[in-house]
Amino acid sequence: MFTIKNHLEIRNAHLIIGKVDTTVLAERYGTPLYVTNESRIVENFMAYRKAFPEADIYYAAKANGSFAILRILAREGAGADVFSYGELYMALLAGIPHEKLLFNGNSKTDFELKKAVELGVKVSVDSRDELHTLSEIAQKAGKDVEIAFRVNPDVSTKTHPKISTGLRTSKFGIPSEEVVSIYREASVLPGISPTGIHCHIGSQILDTAPFREATHKMMDLVEKVAALGIELKFVDMGSGLGIPYKKDGTQTPEPQDHADAILPVFEERTKALGISPKLILEPGRYIVGDTTILLAHVNTVKKAAKNFVGVDAGFNLLIRPTMYDSYHYAVVANKAASPPGETYTIVGPICETGDILAHDRALPRIEKGDLIALLDAGAYGFSMSSQYNGRPRCAEVLVKNGEAEVIRSAEDVGDLMAKQRLPSWLV
Ligand code: LLP
């Protein structure tokens, strides 16, 4: 059985989230259903807050951009890392102030840059080309825009190659050896104030050593930039920690370990330089990953080459297992106290062989109508969902103090048609 992390428990053989019975939620709202526990979001955010009392925490909105979740974090005082105008728009609407936002991205449109300038949002610039476009846009608007450069610190991380971003060959960032020259260039460009430096080495990192290495490398760059006479006001070190999806008891680092790994380096190096830039971190997964479960009903059980359990959620709603071979712990939510009876492979309804949510899991005996919960679905779950195979997206529910409320209604077939038009000759 999984290690119960605060907000998940088993009562009367049912899986409970935030004091609410998942079988009651499934009955009331139908499945598939994303269920998020508010108090766990706050706990996770506070863990980062407490470990880094002097830093600003810019929640990575891409992890879960649902409006209620952005609003909860806004109220806790989070800033946000936004990667599109859509994320920027939602973050501002949720109440995150413009001065606590960083507009990231390796391929922003001119429209997005204009919006950042207009709204007074800092921009993380990813190329020389972008720098010049932004300078022109800021000049035309008669404004000065604060920028950081996203730098590529060339740090290797033990994570899935598709989410490792700080390697030399990744599409992100300015190569380290060009950093000094680009700051020099930026410092004389009209409309541009180079005030920060930014990196992000990858996601789902469960070892603090790469974060420490990246801090050393970033501080080397800060020192070189300082030698140009540019005093940086912020150093943004990117993502937060990964989370223990497997529940096999392996000890994984917590925000305090993250802080112990990087703060001594950051503090020592800034002190030596006689500067006091603000440290910024952009955790996404750690804040929301374990706050949410995806509930799905069993449509069919089939004995073939494997014991296949067909549920009503597939990679249309949770693409991580298909895309990154990710592991999400599965619980039979209505039989959560029963011992394992068989080995099952849980599959979705999508017309693709790769639509597998969980491979070869020892679970209680499963039959049609049972309720499966996939844990740790809060980060890059709903936010990466699609309508593939003509499947409207499901609802999201938020639980707080034992009460549940819908924070996003389920789509229906009308939503599949909402933006479609026939050309005149087909009407
Ligand atoms: N900052 C930047 C610039 C990022 O690109 C990301 C994530 C983060 C912060 C947040 O990283 P976190 O704290 O969540 O590790 N879809 C993948 C993960 C993609 C991560 C993209 N960037 C997954 O499901 O594992």
As a whole number of angstroms, the distance between CA 107 and CA 176 comes to 19
Tell me what pLDDT residue 163 has.
Answer: 66
pLDDT (mean) for 274-302: 98
Mean of the pLDDT values across residues 175-186? 96
Residue 6 pLDDT level (bands cut at 50, 70, 90): low
For 67-80, what is the mean pLDDT?
98
Quote the CA–CA distance of 364 and 358 in Å, as a whole number. 14
Ligand 1 centroid, distance to 279 Cα (angstroms): 18
Instruction: Say if ligand 1 is within 6 A of residue 44 CB.
Output: no
Q: Whose alpha carbon is nearest atom 5 of ligand 1?
A: 200
pLDDT band, very low/low/confident/very high, at 5 (cuts 50, 70, 90): low
Compare 337 and 165 and report the one with higher pLDDT.
Answer: 337
Mean pLDDT along residues 358-367: 98
Q: What is the pLDDT of residue 170?
A: 85
Whole-number pLDDT of residue 166: 64
pLDDT band at 238 (very low <50, low <70, confident <90, very high): very high
Above 80 in pLDDT, residue 277? yes
Q: Is the pLDDT of residue 167 over 70?
A: no
Measured from the CB, is residue 203 less than 6 Å from ligand 1? yes
Handedness of CA 24, 27, 28, 29 (dihedral sign): positive
For the residues 401-409, what does the mean pLDDT come to?
Answer: 97
- The partner residues of 301 in beta bridges, in order of sequence, read 309
Report the alpha-carbon distance of residue 307 to residue 344 in Å, rounded.
5
Amino acid identity of 368?
Answer: K
Q: Which residue has the tokens 């033990």?
A: 158
pLDDT value at residue 158: 66
Report the pLDDT averaged over residues 47-53: 98
Supply 336's token pair.
């959560």
pLDDT band at 229 (very low <50, low <70, confident <90, very high): very high
**Active site includes 394?**
no
Q: Which two tokens stand for residue 296?
A: 């799905």
Looking at the CA of residue 326, tell me the nearest atom of ligand 1. Answer: 25
Instruction: For residue 289, give the ligand 1 atom closest to its CA.
Output: 14
* Furthest-apart CA atoms within the chain: distance in Å: 72
Average pLDDT, the chain: 96
How would you classify residue 119: left for phi > 0, otherwise alpha for psi between -120 and 50, otherwise beta?
A: alpha
Looking up tokens 């706990």 gives: 43
Mean pLDDT of 155-168: 70
Residue-wise pLDDT tens digits, 116-130: 999 999 999 999 999
State the pLDDT at residue 2. 53
Q: How far is the CA of 309 from the centre of ligand 1 (A)?
A: 30
Percent of the chain at pLDDT > 90 equals: 93
CB 166 within 8 A of CB 154: yes
Question: Looking at residue 118, what is its pLDDT?
Answer: 98
Spatial contact of 238 and 199, defined as CB atoms under 8 Å apart: yes
Residue 217 has pLDDT above 70, yes or no: yes
Mean pLDDT of 155-177: 78
Question: What pLDDT was estimated at residue 29?
Answer: 98
| Ligand 1 centre distance from Cα of residue 226 (Å) | 29
- Nearest residue (by CA) to ligand 1, atom 20, is 203
- Report the sign of the C-alpha dihedral through residues 240, 245, 247, 250, in that order: negative
Residue 290 alpha carbon to ligand 1 centre in Å: 15
**Which of the listed residues 44, 62, 236, 288 should we mutate to test ligand 1's pocket, taking the one with most ligand atoms within 8 A of CB?**
62
Distance 11 CA to ligand 1 centre (A): 34
Out of 351, 417, 418, 426, pick the active-site residue: 351
CB of 105 sitting under 6 A from ligand 1: no
Ligand 1 pocket, 163 CB below 6 A?
A: yes
Q: CA angle, corner 285, sides to 164 and 374, nearest 5?
A: 110
Is the Cβ–Cβ distance between 126 and 150 less than 8 Å?
yes
Q: Is the CB of 283 under 6 A from ligand 1?
A: yes
Buried b (16+ CB within 10 A) or exposed e, 179-195: beebbebbeebebbbbb
Which positions ≥6 away from 226 have C-beta within 8 Å?
A: 232, 273, 275
Average pLDDT of span 235-243: 97
Looking at ligand 1, which residue's alpha carbon is closest to its atom 6?
A: 239
Is residue 197 within 8 A of residue 224, CB to CB? The reply is: no
Distance CA 253, CA 333 (A): 28
pLDDT in tens, 21-40: 999 999 999 999 999 999 99
Question: pTM score > 0.95 for this model?
Answer: yes
Q: What is the pLDDT of residue 154?
A: 82
Please classify residue 423 by burial: count the beta carbons closer than 10 Å to its beta carbon, then call 0-12 exposed, 13-18 middle and 19+ buried.
exposed
The arithmetic mean of pLDDT across residues 161-179, rounded, is 81
Best residue for ligand 1 mutational test, from 106, 203, 207, 254 (most atoms within 8 Å of Cβ): 203
CB 357 within 8 A of CB 328: yes
Rounded distance from Cα 163 to ligand 1 centre (Å): 7
- Measured from the Cα of 81, ligand 1's closest atom is 1
Per-residue pLDDT of 88-124, as tens digits, reads: 999 999 999 999 999 999 999 999 999 999 999 999 9
Check residue 92 and give left, alpha or beta (phi > 0: left; psi -120 to 50: alpha). Answer: alpha
Residue 353 banded pLDDT, cuts 50, 70, 90: very high
